[in-house]
């Protein structure tokens, strides 16, 4: 007879608890809640340990989602958050690994079960091009939408988008009940634009999400003194670029640990955290290890640093508490 491992059993129990939370309804959120959850810390490569790039910010009763990488709906379900409970989605840029989970969030969130049941348009904010993306999805899934409207009597409002584009890629793009979100240009490369990062302010505290970027003066400008600076990271195994020159442009579009260390030293956040781990490797060239990432960062930064993991939570107050995922909401 086969038996479940304790890890698998724990995951099943966590999922059952999450689904029960959907069915019963969550308790009211405390007004002073300000926390960040890394839903996905990975890249385009399929990786069960690191889902696609996506970060959840919970401010009071609001749930703000930054990027919609692969598997974001699964992570939200693990947290016991109904898909309809996302108050606003923000995109940083249009690379597929940051948007390929958007159709799932949008379509699955419209379905009638308790984990979904969205009856209003999905609010979507991003750089110029966001409207085109939304219109393209509506065209691509027109048959599915038509069928579910007549077959399941789902409301038309629930499968609409409410799109807001950021014309110049900079400025306050969201303000509600004390939560302010500011977009700023970052630098993801000569041809990868528009591309933005976001700063979130609430109750005198602040979080910066760099988005995909090379070292950027705008990241430093908006990140000075924040409570939590969530920054992308990229590193290549020794010799891998020389052996595989096609990887060189990828590294040039991102920030190395040494470069990130300089940014953290100048911005002085209460806590710096890595996400979107672009760890370039190839056969015969193993990925850079976590210890090596820390070592390279420490060449230029000695402050608080965390290597992010999927479902890691940061509770922001007078200090920033780091809460690893323990398998339950």
Token couple for 197: 């990062």
Is residue 259 within a helix (H) or strand (E), and if so which, with residue range?
A: helix 257-267
Task: Provide the CA 103 distance to its chain's centre, in angstroms.
Answer: 15
Residues 6 or more apart whose Cβ sits within 8 Å of residue 64:
56, 57, 58, 86, 87, 88, 90, 174, 179, 181, 200
Compute φ and ψ for 155, nearest 5 degrees. Answer: -70, 135
If you ran DSSP here, which 8-state letter would residue 153 be given? -
Angle of CA points 303, 305, 308, to nearest 5°:
170
For 11-42, b/e burial (b = at least 16 CB within 10 A) is eeebeeebeebbeeeeeeeeeebbbbbbbbbb
Mind telling me the catalytic residues? 97
CA dist., res. 295 & res. 74, Å (int):
33
Would you report the helix, strand and coil content of the chain in percent, each value rounded to 5? 30, 25, 40
Q: How many CB atoms lie within 10 A of CB 239?
A: 11
CA dist., res. 8 & res. 80, Å (int):
18
Query: Under a CB-based contact definition with an 8 Å cutoff, are residues 255 and 233 in contact?
Result: yes
SS3 47: coil
Strand order in the sheet with 313-316: 161-166, 122-127, 88-90, 62-66, 54-59, 34-40, 313-316, 320-323
Is beta strand 88-90 parallel, antiparallel or unpaired with respect to 62-66? Answer: parallel
């Amino acid at each position: 007879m086969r038996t479940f491992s304790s890890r698998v059993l724990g995951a099943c129990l966590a999922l059952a608890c999450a689904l029960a939370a959907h069915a019963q309804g969550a308790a009211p959120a405390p007004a002073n809640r300000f926390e960040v959850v890394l839903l996905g810390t990975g890249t385009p490569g399929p990786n069960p340990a690191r889902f696609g790039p996506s970060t959840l910010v919970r401010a009071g009763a609001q749930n703000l989602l930054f990027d919609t990488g692969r598997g974001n709906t699964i992570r939200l379900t693990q947290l016991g958050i109904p898909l309809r409970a996302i108050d606003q989605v923000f995109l940083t840029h249009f690379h597929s690994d940051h948007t390929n989970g958007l159709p799932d969030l949008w379509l699955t969130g419209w379905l009638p079960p308790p984990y979904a049941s969205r009856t209003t348009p999905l609010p979507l904010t991003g750089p110029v091009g966001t409207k085109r993306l939304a219109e393209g999805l509506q065209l691509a899934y027109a048959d599915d939408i038509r069928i579910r409207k007549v077959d399941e009597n789902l409301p038309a409002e629930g499968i609409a988008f409410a799109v807001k584009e950021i014309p110049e890629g900079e400025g306050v793009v969201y303000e509600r009940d004390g939560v302010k979100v500011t977009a700023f240009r970052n630098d993801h490369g000569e041809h990868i634009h528009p591309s933005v990062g976001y700063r979130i302010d609430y109750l005198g505290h602040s979080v910066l999400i760099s988005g995909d970027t090379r070292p950027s003066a705008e990241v430093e400008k908006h990140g000075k003194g924040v409570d939590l600076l969530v920054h992308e990271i990229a590193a290549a195994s020794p010799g891998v670029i020389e052996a595989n020159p096609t990887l060189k442009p990828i590294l040039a579009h991102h920030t190395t640990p040494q470069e990130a260390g300089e940014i953290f030293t100048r911005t002085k956040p209460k806590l710096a955290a890595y996400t979107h781990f672009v760890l370039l490797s190839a056969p015969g060239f193993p990925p850079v290890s976590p210890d090596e990432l820390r070592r390279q960062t420490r060449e230029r930064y000695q402050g608080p640093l965390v290597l992010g993991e999927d479902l890691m939570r940061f509770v922001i107050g007078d200090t920033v508490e780091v809460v690893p995922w323990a398998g339950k909401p």
